[in-house]
Structure 1
């Protein structure tokens, strides 16, 4: 039995949440049982309710009551997965004292050192700083939606642009991108996620050539119609490029700079910069000089969707 512990909120973002949705789909497919432990967040909790996914709301900042042990015993959990970014050593101690396996994703917190596996697919530099009994890093262990396989195609030229900057877009970068597109007289479809909070400003900017779509059922399906995506530096650009959709990348957080730089280095996208420092004159040059077909082919060739299988094979070795 897997216990999957997630943090999801407007401030944290929803990347961890949606990554675990892909993990859940994989576990369903191979008939592994699981339960979700998650903080109170109306958007995420509603999604789980609507999709009939079993979960318990927990206080992730409570390091005293040992809620972890109570849930481990109640659900007979033997593998605990954290997807919370930075975990605390006290939390990790509460898990491992029950003699079960602890897996964590992208964990730079003090709790990482007690993990049996620390999976850091989006780390490309300074791997020696990662803690854990065993560390797995690089896009071989990237969790992507398997639906991508059905929607791959090579793009040949630039006709349609899609903008998608995360489930929450904490800093409202979508607004800056839309202002740029308007100045350049470029149309686009704007995808907003479930925790997006900048609609008033967005609606004031929208004209006929801009289409806003909220909470699309399948972002992968949506991608199929487009030739270029403007995205942040999370999981989304990997999903896009794996399907053959080239990306212009904007780092919404400092830790995304490494991801965006990596995607540019393997030739599947172009890094426009950290959101606070973007030169929009240079941004226009990037858009018009994109070698769409080359970037598209590189994405399909270099970004695989086999990460879940690779991770599961490592887990069952423990």
Structure 2
């Protein structure tokens, strides 16, 4: 049995849950039995999950220990994907499994010696992991994509200037970037179709609805299949710098990226350096028009 520990919160977004869902799908295809343990709140999405879900606050030692005591099957592997879990939680988990795999974006912690570190994407290329202390798996080929994105037929026809644009900033939008972006696009491109994904942690839905013109479409509760279809329907995307970049990439959609969380920095760096993706800073959103149609 494999247990995957992760979180889905207003404060953390849905990127970790998305890639852990992709991980669960891949492990199931290998014949493994999977349990996905999630620390979550009201932002938990209405997705179709491939395995059993258990919602507990596992980053609290007492709740984690209760869970571990009640495990009825022998567990060989734990995966952990977290912004929040303290180091002590990893040490507890390490004593209860034969392999602890720490999914990491930015050397967040000094993980227990002997662990495997999985950095799925570009960031691991820029981080000096201790390869004597850990087994390291990193690079773009390690990205954990959900099934529709692993089977996608890459888009080849892209209209320029774009006629349809996608804005996708993750599960929450604490800085109200979606308001600023949509305001600019509605003003500058009234004839363009604007598709905005509204995450379950968004608190500005009413403001977005008021800004929307006839060419604006707000999308909520998209599962992986519907998200993939939406990406394939557009000509360009404005995205946060997390897991969604890899989904857009396999779909063949040109993108412009905004850093919405500090741990996205090396991810964005990889796309900028190796694939020529354009980055726009939060204080440059008024320049979206000239970047889209130079």
Asked if TM exceeds 0.5, the reply is yes
Residue-by-residue CA offset, 1:203-223 (whole Å, 9 max, x unaligned): 121111211121223211111
Give the CA deviation at 1:196.
2.2
| Secondary structure of the structure 1 residue equivalent to 2:256 | strand
Q: Name the CA shift for 1:171/1:53 in 2 (closer, same or farther; >3 Å).
A: farther
Please tell me whether residue 25 in structure 1 is matched to residue 25 in structure 2. yes
Count of aligned residue pairs for this structure pair:
283
Q: Name the CA shift for 1:133/1:68 in 2 (closer, same or farther; >3 Å).
A: farther
| Secondary structure of the structure 2 residue equivalent to 1:128 | coil
Distance in structure 1 (CA, Å) of the matches to 2:126 and 2:268: 16
| Secondary structure of the structure 2 residue equivalent to 1:113 | coil
Q: Name the CA shift for 1:211/1:103 in 2 (closer, same or farther; >3 Å).
A: same
Q: Does the 8 Å contact 2:176/2:204 carry over to 1? A: yes
Name the counterpart of 1:168.
Answer: 172
| Secondary structure of the structure 1 residue equivalent to 2:112 | helix
Name the counterpart of 1:257.
Answer: 265
Uncovered stretches (5+) of structure 1, i.e. residues with no partner: 290-318
Give the CA deviation at 1:78.
0.9
Q: For structure 1, which segment, 82-91 or 108-117, has the greater mean C-alpha deviation from structure 2 after superposition?
A: 108-117
Q: Which protein has the bigger helix share?
A: 1
Of 208, 211, 236, the match for 1:205: 211
Uncovered stretches (5+) of structure 2, i.e. residues with no partner: none
Of 192, 196, 202, the match for 1:196: 202
Q: Does the 8 Å contact 1:36/1:55 carry over to 2? A: yes
TM-score, structure 2 normalization: 0.86
Give the CA deviation at 1:135.
1.9
Q: Does the 8 Å contact 1:22/1:145 carry over to 2? A: yes
Name the counterpart of 1:96.
Answer: 94
Please tell me whether residue 286 in structure 1 is matched to residue 291 in structure 2. yes
Q: Name the CA shift for 1:129/1:51 in 2 (closer, same or farther; >3 Å).
A: closer
Q: Does the 8 Å contact 1:261/1:271 carry over to 2? A: no
